[in-house]
A and B are shown apart, each in its own frame.
Chain A
Amino acid sequence: MARLDTDRLVDTRNGLISRELFVNKDLYQQELETLFTRAWLFVGHESLIPNPGDYFVSRMGAESVILSRDKAGGIHVLLNTCRHRGMKVCLYDEGNTTHFTCPYHHWSYATDGQLVGVPQYDTLYPGMDRAKWSLIEVAQMANYKGTIWATWDKDAPPFLDYLGAAKEHLDLALDCRDGREGGSEAFLGVHKWIIPCNWKLPAENFCGDTYHNPSHRSVDMIGIGPSARSGTKGRRDDELKGAQHVWVSFPAGHGIHSAIQPAMMPYAEAFRDTPVIEEYFRHCYEERQRRLGEKSRLLPFVGTIFPNSSYHGRQPRSICMWHPHGPESTEVWRIFLVDKDAPAEVKDLLRHFYMRYSGPAGMTEQDDMENWNYATAGARGVIARRYPLNYQQSMGAGKDDDPVAGHVSVQITEENSRRFYARWSDYLAGRDWDVLMGRRDGTPRRAAAE
């Protein structure tokens, strides 16, 4: 396969992105080979596999992987394919086991991936070194506050370097509501569904496409938030009212949208339907201010950790994986987060809100799915593809490291998307980690395909 020159397709200087990115089969294959094999990908949450022998089958790129806890309690991410003929060694979505025994010829692997059983080994495979035929394991894995990330590239920088200053924003999703570090867990039940769209559209949307707000007008009109029964309209309560929104891009390609309060503000009510829950969140909010001081002014909204892991930091607090599933198909998996030690009634209220807000049954996101679907379809036409898409919003309006680390815009911007695609192009061109991490510039962005 000849590599396409992606720098021609991504023209960030003029704010033009080719529609090829959303439909082209060769580009899709190039992504699987050059991007999903190198970047750090979100795999799951340790709370999905609390005990030795627990496993949760996940995905990296288009491939099935097993998130496994071995009998000593160590966590592994293993490619779900037998070393003999390639059969899937785990056919279940989750469970607990001592071994992954391949259904085909019964090679058997321990939960750390070691090949431990080969039928008639002595007769049929004299001298074969079983240690060389373990399940294929990721090159690097990181457990960050319970979230598990992995990469197939041994040369990739450590996860925290990769995350960079986006860490303080992702933390806002992973830390307890009262400011203690970490402490979140995943609800059981993982949303999995298929959207007829290219995976980059939702990934880009979560980089901070605040401009698409009007598409959610129907849910704003009816009101579905935790104060909706008390008469508040909108899809959630406006806890960020009065805050300065910031859209921040990071060298590794991540894009986030957070908000900074002008001062240490009093708690804004957001759960008016249920006074005891309102009290709980008021307590958490004040406790967080006490713990973090001025730092508590930073509040989360959404973000994409490059390339395809997105979080919602507040409500509905969750992490999404936009798995590539074909040029025009995305298989989405989402886990929902909650403070592990939140009272039962708080978990229950949040769970119900998450379900009515998010995913294919979610009154808010249903409209996103429709848009991503038909935006992808709109990139298919031969004539349409002659015309690149307009990514010119707030060109040059950002500043570096003010008021937070990263390239910051204080107005709605497509800069996060432009930089997301510039980095995407660097992966597809096979550039080295210095370029991928923004330590050295790759190539000037040339004009988009005419």
Chain B
Amino acid sequence: MNDAAATPRPTRDLDFYLLKEEVAAFLYEEAELLDQRRYTAWLDLLADDLVYFMPMRRNVKAGEHAARENTREGSDISWFEEDKWTLAKRCEQIMTGVHWAEEPLSRICHMVSNVQLLEALPSAAAPQTVTARSRFLVYQNRVETETYIFVGKRTDTLRRVDGAWKLARREIILDQNVLLAKNLTVFF
């Protein structure tokens, strides 16, 4: 995966660590809402102009990863490239009770770790926009013995709106080539 190495890291001071803790708390609370399927509250955490993007991953030659490993946002077919409206539709569909891919509901557990604060603008002391990277492990158990484990990285942009953080962008890098699941009914 190509890295945001070009961005200078924010200074490691008290403001930085407080903000990092705040971002981590946001991500953990979000995971809690998803696992409890409190979708209305979860959707409230999303900015109206949210971009939710999950590319497909290809096996490519060394040296070609930056250019070719992932399908491209804006032009290629990916697993997800969508907005808040579409995510809201997915929530609505799951709650119809006749969406057979999630009926009966799967048991889903989100683990979020390795939270890194990559950027805070204009500053960690008075942040309006932050970029954070984390790792995820999403466990899904369905019907009786069906089990899927999705592992990967996320890069999130959070924006301060009316005193609260909103998720404005999420890029999900699932560490799989052929998808080892019949469906992607979980949120990442």
Cβ contacts under 8 Å, A219 to chain B:
93, 99
B149 at the interface (CB under 8 A from A): no
The distance in angstroms between the C-alpha atoms of A263 and B68, with both chains bound, is 48
The distance in angstroms between the C-alpha atoms of A446 and B59, with both chains bound, is 48
Pairwise interchain contact B77-A95, C-beta atoms closer than 8 A: no
> Which residues of chain B from 132 to 180 have any CB-CB distance to chain A below 8 Å in the complex?
143, 146, 177-180
Closest to A373 in B: B182
Cβ contacts under 8 Å, A171 to chain B:
none
Query: Which of A91, A93, A370 is the one whose CB lies under 8 Å from B101?
Result: A370
A26 at the interface (CB under 8 A from B): no
> Which residues of chain A from 360 to 393 have any CB-CB distance to chain B below 8 Å in the complex?
360-361, 363, 366-367, 369-371, 373-374
The distance in angstroms between the C-alpha atoms of A224 and B89, with both chains bound, is 7
Closest to B57 in A: A93
Cβ contacts under 8 Å, A192 to chain B:
56, 177-179
Pairwise interchain contact B182-A196, C-beta atoms closer than 8 A: yes
Pairwise interchain contact A367-B82, C-beta atoms closer than 8 A: no
Closest to A223 in B: B89
A94 at the interface (CB under 8 A from B): yes
Interface 0/1 of A209-238, CB less than 8 Å to B: 000000101110111100011000000000
Cβ contacts under 8 Å, B183 to chain A:
360-361, 366, 369-370
The distance in angstroms between the C-alpha atoms of A219 and B85, with both chains bound, is 14
Pairwise interchain contact B81-A352, C-beta atoms closer than 8 A: yes
- Say how far B72's CB is from chain A's closest CB, in angstroms: 7
B123 at the interface (CB under 8 A from A): no
Interface 0/1 of A71-108, CB less than 8 Å to B: 00000000000000000000111110000000000000
A133 at the interface (CB under 8 A from B): no
Interface 0/1 of A177-199, CB less than 8 Å to B: 00000000001111111111100
B78 at the interface (CB under 8 A from A): yes
Pairwise interchain contact A331-B89, C-beta atoms closer than 8 A: no
Pairwise interchain contact B60-A92, C-beta atoms closer than 8 A: yes
Pairwise interchain contact B101-A356, C-beta atoms closer than 8 A: no
The distance in angstroms between the C-alpha atoms of A224 and B61, with both chains bound, is 38
The distance in angstroms between the C-alpha atoms of A218 and B91, with both chains bound, is 11
The distance in angstroms between the C-alpha atoms of A371 and B100, with both chains bound, is 8
Query: Which of A197, A217, A331 is the one whose CB lies under 8 Å from B98?
Result: A217
Pairwise interchain contact A194-B90, C-beta atoms closer than 8 A: no
Pairwise interchain contact A222-B93, C-beta atoms closer than 8 A: yes
Pairwise interchain contact A189-B184, C-beta atoms closer than 8 A: no
Pairwise interchain contact B60-A188, C-beta atoms closer than 8 A: no
Closest to A356 in B: B86
The distance in angstroms between the C-alpha atoms of A229 and B88, with both chains bound, is 12
Closest to A351 in B: B77
Pairwise interchain contact A193-B78, C-beta atoms closer than 8 A: no
Pairwise interchain contact A355-B78, C-beta atoms closer than 8 A: yes
B22 at the interface (CB under 8 A from A): no
Interface size on A, residues (CB 8 A): 44
Cβ contacts under 8 Å, A95 to chain B:
60-61, 64, 68
Query: Which of A189, A215, A363, A367 is the one whose CB lies under 8 Å from B77?
Result: A189
B181 at the interface (CB under 8 A from A): yes
> Which residues of chain B from 41 to 86 have any CB-CB distance to chain A below 8 Å in the complex?
54-56, 58-61, 64, 68, 71-72, 74-82, 85-86
Closest to B58 in A: A93
Pairwise interchain contact A222-B179, C-beta atoms closer than 8 A: no
Compute the total of residue contacts between A and B using a CB distance below 8 Å.
128
A336 at the interface (CB under 8 A from B): yes
A354 at the interface (CB under 8 A from B): yes
Cβ contacts under 8 Å, B179 to chain A:
192-194, 360
Cβ contacts under 8 Å, A91 to chain B:
59
- Say how far B171's CB is from chain A's closest CB, in angstroms: 15
Pairwise interchain contact A187-B101, C-beta atoms closer than 8 A: no
Pairwise interchain contact A93-B76, C-beta atoms closer than 8 A: no
Closest to A228 in B: B89
Cβ contacts under 8 Å, B29 to chain A:
none
- Say how far B107's CB is from chain A's closest CB, in angstroms: 16
B2 at the interface (CB under 8 A from A): no
Cβ contacts under 8 Å, A221 to chain B:
93, 96, 98
Interface 0/1 of B85-118, CB less than 8 Å to A: 1100110110010111110000000000000000
Pairwise interchain contact B77-A369, C-beta atoms closer than 8 A: no
The distance in angstroms between the C-alpha atoms of A196 and B74, with both chains bound, is 31
Closest to B99 in A: A218
- Say how far A186's CB is from chain B's closest CB, in angstroms: 9
The distance in angstroms between the C-alpha atoms of A95 and B184, with both chains bound, is 27
Cβ contacts under 8 Å, B75 to chain A:
187-188, 351
B185 at the interface (CB under 8 A from A): yes
Cβ contacts under 8 Å, A228 to chain B:
89
Cβ contacts under 8 Å, B81 to chain A:
351-352, 355
- Say how far A66's CB is from chain B's closest CB, in angstroms: 13
The distance in angstroms between the C-alpha atoms of A187 and B72, with both chains bound, is 11
Pairwise interchain contact B178-A360, C-beta atoms closer than 8 A: no
Pairwise interchain contact A93-B182, C-beta atoms closer than 8 A: no
Pairwise interchain contact A366-B185, C-beta atoms closer than 8 A: yes
Taking Cβ atoms with an 8 Å cutoff, the residues of B that contact A are: 54-56, 58-61, 64, 68, 71-72, 74-82, 85-86, 89-90, 92-93, 96, 98-102, 143, 146, 177-185
Known contacts A221-B93, A355-B80, A367-B101; 9 additional CB pairs below 8 A are: A188-B75, A193-B181, A194-B179, A194-B180, A336-B77, A352-B86, A356-B89, A360-B79, A366-B100
29 A–B contacts from the bound complex (CB under 8 Å): A93-B59, A93-B60, A95-B60, A95-B68, A187-B76, A188-B77, A189-B56, A189-B76, A195-B182, A215-B100, A218-B100, A221-B98, A222-B89, A222-B93, A224-B89, A351-B76, A351-B77, A352-B81, A355-B79, A360-B79, A360-B183, A361-B54, A361-B183, A367-B100, A369-B183, A370-B100, A370-B101, A370-B182, A373-B182
Q: Which 6 A-B pairs have the closest CB atoms?
A: A189-B77, A366-B101, A189-B76, A193-B179, A218-B99, A189-B71
